[in-house]
């Protein structure tokens, strides 16, 4: 075990070499004080690189959350080192005016195409009763236009949130998402011909494991591809009492089957300073940092961190 409860894991992946994902460094992510989400709880740090610049979109939540406050607003910013972000003066995504997200905007996921930015996020309705997947797009991050309500839960299921996008070896796309059913969170998957869909829901890509750290709740995390290796998702799992940890799972190139899965969580939150704090570490995004993976995540639904992960085969 390394500092702050980070683990080094090794697991067999069929005929492929055994892989180890080793957390080698942990860092705090900070935002400029001029941020419109300064003083709020911080979640869902989606970081990506454009050239030498790191960009970020982050969900801010008022603390304490009042009865008429939005459950989230989304701010953007940039950094030269991936740790200290200067935030934009305005917000990237705000609630409304449509009814699907009047209650809040949460969990941004960004895809950069040749000609525009695609931002998938969770829209919460005015009653805070349901979250749905919404797509906003634009040539500039400062001029995003809400385009489509992508997925809404059918009767008997709850929120749809936490988008993760991945392209298959064949060139089509998969949209992974969290949904609620039977008092638990699960991971769903949809397929589409383009990164904008249209999306067709398919069977869940994987499920919980009885008697394990991920035996009740599952939520999506970022997917990353390294040349010569299966795509891997750093996913979020929890027990019935919602003690969330971060683990990993790998897939074949077309996301038709699981090829490996860590036995234990790779990131565990350190002991909380306050007894009232939420016991949660929650993965949001990854970038390649030299020969390591930089994993951005949140702690206690209020603090931002980065883990540098080495990948080793034997």
More confident residue, 81 or 129: 81
**Six-digit token pair at 303?**
């603090």
Q: Which residues pair with 246 in a beta bridge?
A: 236, 267
Residues near 273 by beta carbon (within 8 Å), at least 6 away in sequence: none
Residues near 260 by beta carbon (within 8 Å), at least 6 away in sequence: 11, 12, 13, 14, 16, 19, 230, 232, 248, 249, 250
Whether pLDDT at 5 is above 60: no
Per residue in 154-202, pLDDT (tens digit) is: 765 679 999 999 999 999 999 999 999 889 999 999 999 999 999 999 9
Q: Are 110 and 95 in contact (CB under 8 A)?
A: no
Whether pLDDT at 12 is above 80: no
Q: Are 249 and 206 in contact (CB under 8 A)?
A: yes
**Six-digit token pair at 155?**
């009767």
Report the SS3 class of residue 145: strand
Per residue in 284-299, pLDDT (tens digit) is: 999 999 999 999 999 9
CA separation for the pair 196, 175 (Å, rounded) = 10
**Six-digit token pair at 265?**
């969580």
**Six-digit token pair at 245?**
């940890």
Arithmetic mean of pLDDT, 114-141: 95
CA separation for the pair 93, 136 (Å, rounded) = 9
Per residue in 68-105, pLDDT (tens digit) is: 999 999 999 999 999 999 999 999 999 999 999 999 99
Confidence of residue 8 (pLDDT cuts 50, 70, 90): very low
pLDDT for the residue numbered 16: 56
Whether pLDDT at 13 is above 70: no
> Residue 211 class from Cβ within 10 Å (0-12 exposed, 13-18 middle, 19+ buried)?
exposed
Structure pTM? Answer: 0.93
pLDDT for the residue numbered 182: 87
Per residue in 228-280, pLDDT (tens digit) is: 899 999 999 999 999 999 999 999 999 999 999 999 999 999 987 776 778 99
Overall size of the chain counted in residues: 314
Q: How far does Cα 125 stand from its chain's mean position?
A: 21
Pseudo-torsion of CA 86, 90, 94, 97, nearest 10°?
Answer: -170
Cβ neighbour number for residue 183 with a 10 Å cutoff: 9
Share of the chain above pLDDT 90, in %: 82
Q: Are 68 and 291 in contact (CB under 8 A)?
A: no
Whether pLDDT at 62 is above 80: yes
pLDDT for the residue numbered 169: 95
pLDDT for the residue numbered 274: 75
Whether pLDDT at 38 is above 80: yes
Cβ neighbour number for residue 303 with a 10 Å cutoff: 16
Share of the chain above pLDDT 70, in %: 93
pLDDT for the residue numbered 33: 86
pLDDT for the residue numbered 17: 61
Q: What is the 8-class DSSP label of residue 4?
A: G
């Amino acid at each position: 075990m390394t500092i702050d409860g980070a683990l080094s894991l090794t697991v067999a992946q069929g005929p492929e070499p055994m892989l180890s994902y080793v957390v080698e460094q942990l860092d705090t992510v900070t935002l400029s004080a001029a941020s419109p989400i300064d003083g709020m709880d911080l979640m869902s740090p989606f970081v990506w690189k454009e050239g030498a610049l790191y960009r970020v979109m982050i969900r801010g939540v008022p603390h304490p959350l009042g009865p008429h406050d939005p459950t989230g607003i989304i701010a953007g910013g940039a950094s030269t080192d991936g740790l200290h972000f200067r935030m934009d003066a305005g917000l990237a995504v705000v609630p409304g005016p449509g009814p699907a997200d009047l209650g809040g905007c949460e969990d941004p996921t960004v895809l950069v195409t040749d000609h525009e930015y695609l931002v998938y996020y969770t829209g919460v309705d005015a009653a805070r009763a349901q979250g749905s997947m919404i797509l906003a797009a634009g040539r500039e991050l400062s001029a995003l236009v809400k385009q489509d309500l992508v997925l809404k839960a059918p009767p008997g299921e709850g929120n749809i949130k936490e988008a993760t996008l991945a392209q298959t070896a064949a060139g089509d796309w998969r949209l992974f998402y969290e949904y609620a059913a039977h008092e638990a969170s699960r991971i769903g998957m949809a397929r589409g011909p383009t990164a904008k869909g249209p999306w067709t829901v398919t069977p869940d890509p994987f499920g919980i494991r009885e008697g394990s750290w991920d035996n009740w709740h599952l939520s999506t995390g970022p997917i990353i591809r390294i040349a010569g290796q299966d795509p891997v998702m750093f996913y979020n799992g929890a027990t019935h009492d919602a003690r969330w940890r971060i683990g990993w799972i790998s897939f074949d190139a077309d996301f038709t089957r699981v090829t490996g899965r860590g036995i234990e969580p790779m990131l565990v939150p350190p002991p909380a300073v306050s007894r009232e704090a939420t016991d949660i570490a929650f993965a949001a995004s990854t970038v390649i940092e030299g020969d390591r993976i930089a994993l951005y995540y949140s702690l206690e639904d209020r603090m931002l961190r980065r883990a540098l992960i080495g990948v080793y085969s034997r």
